[in-house]
Chain A
Amino acid sequence: MAGFIGRRILWGALVLLLVAVITFFLSRVVPADPAAFLAGQNASEETVARIRAEHGLDQPMLLQFRDYATGLVQGDLGESIRTRRPVAQDMAQFLPATLELLLVSFAAYLVLSLSLAILAVRRPGGAMDGAVRLFTMLGTGIPVFWLGMALQFVFYYKLQWFPLGARFPIREIAPPEVTGFLLVDCLIAGNPGAFVSALQYIALPALTVVLNLLAVGTRMSRAALLAERERLYVRTARGKGLSPRQVLFGHMLRNALSPILTVTTIQFGYLLSWVILVEVIFDWPGIGLYAFQSFQVFDYSPVIALALVSTFGFVVLNLLADLLYPVIDPRVEAVTS
């Protein structure tokens, strides 16, 4: 088991290194000149050259990467040309907003998708199952950005139920920053009013994420549960006289957890890669929006940093999943050790 984990960690490090190499070279083969952009339109040749030298942009590509890689190991992600601050510092500032959105929406997604799948499987082919299948069928085709805009239109423009465009009302005083997670900070400050405000701001982006994940997730969880229904142990359990509820929760759900974990990992990975879209639509001040805004002004260090951070998240996520499989299904242990 320890050897297995060691190999996985080593592999994860290798993946990160390769992602660093790829993104670095892609971003430096650009036709646009970051130094010229930074210097402004009317800058002289000398100014541009000076700025280029300052940022090491005049060095050979390999040397630039060597400096970059050395910095990476020391936690230096370079400097953002746009914000004129270290990227690591920017990322640390914007990361909690992204994590908060990810965690809140993913928790809601897990609860909802499992509940819907269970409701559907209780009587396959029944009315509830039909409704769930109709929902998953329609839901898979909705582009997430379009869904986000539609929700904005209905709940912000028409009904005016929810605010838009930040994490917290500008006119109110935000609670002192302790964790960076606004919801948690509000609770620490003992301010239920602020907590409700923050909750209102996160509601629409989170709802967008949840609805986007829900269709595919429910569909796959339902399939996993249905597959268990055909197994012999279900027949045995029924034969013993267990109620349908006991069979479903005590036996089928327990056995379907492995495939459901697989689905969950895939969904979270997908979300890591696409949460940037939701952040852009809702002006949610996370690392995705930060990287995207930098990208638009040819400032690439934040984009590389985002790639590294999301790949890191993906590697950790898969490691966690690998560790969880033997816990939920002891039979897996034999394979991994």
Chain B
Amino acid sequence: MSAPAATFRAARRIDWLAMAALVVVALLAVFALMPGVVAPYDPIALDVVNRLKPPSPAHPFGTDEAGRDIFSRVIYGTRYSMGVALAIVAFAAVFGTLYGVVSGMAPRWLDNLMMRIVDMVFGFPALVLALAISAAIGRGLDSVTLALSLMWWPGFARLVRGEVLRLKTEPHVETARALGLGPVTIMWRHIVPFVMSAVNVRATTDIGYALVAVTALSFLGLGATSPTPEWGLLIRDSRPYFGSAWWYLVFPGGIVMLTATACSLLGDALDARKGA
């Protein structure tokens, strides 16, 4: 096979996967915005007669220990799990980008200081911070959002600072400086627009990782509380029954995995487009 043909085939294959990922994300958006339209049952209503029933046409993902429809709970859970993941990444991307731009533009001593702070946050064990915060302000999705937001921004700060240092020597920025434009104008008009594509790639991929982190904290009992149909909490609740009710573990975990993989694929596709 000739090299161009191989490249073409590779490009086409990646597109296919990206399309599939896009479909998954679109479906999730529908689930999050209009769960009532898709979900056949109330996610919280009890139906004790039908507890722990395996998947059937009536309950495609089976039922849990209170007879609740797991399919409906997964659909309604999208809003909580994805909402928190999105909030974390949105905060991290905005704050991290600002921090990185300022650090990259700042005089050397300030840049050094700001980057040492980033190193420090990186060195802090995320899970322990989450434990401490939920001890201080109580368990719930709020403390999970707070803890993970505080831990997440340094990645963006480092990425953006690197881009800024590279951009500072680009001809268009040097021209702007030679024309006498102020640092703030240069920053907003000539640097920030050029770092956004890298930030977008990173943010897309990170939504998946943030989702996994959020569900992990809920799984430990730090996040959502019963009967909120949050995905991590569903997996936590399934633990006592995992020998007898495989569907209770498999479907909520599967949706987390599917979502995270879709985000990572979309990030890759964005990255490939950026390079082209």
Q: Tell me the chain B residues, 186-215 only, with Cβ under 8 Å from chain A.
A: 208, 212, 215
B86 neighbours in A (Cβ, 8 Å)? none
Q: Which residue of A lies closest to B252 (CB)?
A: A146
Are A30 and B135 touching (Cβ within 8 A)? yes
Whether A152 sits at the interface, judged by CB under 8 Å, is: yes
Whether B12 sits at the interface, judged by CB under 8 Å, is: no
In which size bucket is the chain B interface? Answer: 35 or more
* B127, B128, B132 interface centre (most CB from chain A within 10 Å): B128
Q: Which residue of B lies closest to A29 (CB)?
A: B136
B116 neighbours in A (Cβ, 8 Å)? 11
Nearest Cβ distance between residue B158 and chain A, in whole angstroms? 12
Are A141 and B257 touching (Cβ within 8 A)? yes
Q: Mark A149-163, 1 if CB is under 8 A from B, else 0.
A: 110110001000000
B124 neighbours in A (Cβ, 8 Å)? 19, 22, 307, 311
Q: How far is the CA of A140 from the CA of B119 in the complex (A)?
A: 24
B258 neighbours in A (Cβ, 8 Å)? 141
A303 in contact with B135 given A141-B261, A153-B246, A272-B125 (CB within 8 Å): yes
A149 in contact with B249 given A23-B128, A141-B208, A143-B216 (CB within 8 Å): yes
A303 in contact with B128 given A30-B136, A141-B212 (CB within 8 Å): yes
Q: How far is the CA of A38 from the CA of B210 in the complex (A)?
A: 36
Q: Which residue of B lies closest to A273 (CB)?
A: B125
Q: Tell me the chain A residues, 268-319 only, with Cβ under 8 Å from chain B.
A: 269, 272-274, 276-277, 280, 291-292, 295-296, 298, 300, 303, 306-307, 310-311, 314-315, 318
Q: How far is the CA of A125 from the CA of B6 in the complex (A)?
A: 8
A314 neighbours in B (Cβ, 8 Å)? 123, 125
Are A277 and B136 touching (Cβ within 8 A)? no
A140 in contact with B261 given A26-B133, A149-B249 (CB within 8 Å): yes
Q: How far is the CA of A142 from the CA of B261 in the complex (A)?
A: 8
B216 contact from A22, A144, A152, A269, Cβ within 8 A: A144
Q: Which residue of B lies closest to A274 (CB)?
A: B127
A295 in contact with B131 given A145-B216, A277-B216, A307-B125 (CB within 8 Å): yes
Q: Mark A16-33, 1 if CB is under 8 A from B, else 0.
A: 001100110011011110
Whether A111 sits at the interface, judged by CB under 8 Å, is: no
A36 neighbours in B (Cβ, 8 Å)? none
B126 neighbours in A (Cβ, 8 Å)? 273-274
Q: Tell me the chain B residues, 98-131 only, with Cβ under 8 Å from chain A.
A: 116, 119-120, 122-129, 131
A327 neighbours in B (Cβ, 8 Å)? none
A143 in contact with B246 given A27-B135, A277-B216 (CB within 8 Å): no
Are A146 and B235 touching (Cβ within 8 A)? yes
Q: Mark B26-53, 1 if CB is under 8 A from A, else 0.
A: 0000000000000000000000000000
Are B256 and A140 touching (Cβ within 8 A)? no
A311 neighbours in B (Cβ, 8 Å)? 123-125
Whether B63 sits at the interface, judged by CB under 8 Å, is: no
Q: Mark B235-276, 1 if CB is under 8 A from A, else 0.
A: 100010011001001100100111111011100000000000
Nearest Cβ distance between residue A19 and chain B, in whole angstroms? 6
Q: Mark B137-177, 1 if CB is under 8 A from A, else 0.
A: 01000000000000000000000000000000000000000
Are B239 and A276 touching (Cβ within 8 A)? no
A-B contact pairs, 25 of them (CB 8 A): A15-B119, A19-B123, A29-B136, A30-B136, A141-B257, A143-B257, A146-B249, A146-B253, A150-B250, A269-B122, A269-B123, A272-B125, A273-B128, A276-B128, A277-B216, A300-B132, A300-B135, A303-B135, A307-B124, A307-B125, A307-B128, A307-B132, A310-B125, A310-B128, A311-B125
9 smallest beta-carbon distances between A and B, as pairs: A141-B260, A141-B261, A146-B253, A26-B132, A273-B125, A307-B128, A310-B125, A141-B257, A314-B123
* 17 further contact pairs, Cβ within 8 A, besides A273-B127, A274-B127: A19-B124, A26-B132, A26-B135, A30-B135, A30-B136, A143-B260, A145-B216, A146-B235, A146-B249, A146-B253, A146-B256, A150-B250, A153-B246, A273-B125, A291-B128, A298-B135, A314-B123
Interface residues of chain A, those whose CB is within 8 Å of chain B, are: 11, 15, 18-19, 22-23, 26-27, 29-32, 125, 137-138, 140-146, 149-150, 152-153, 157, 269, 272-274, 276-277, 280, 291-292, 295-296, 298, 300, 303, 306-307, 310-311, 314-315, 318
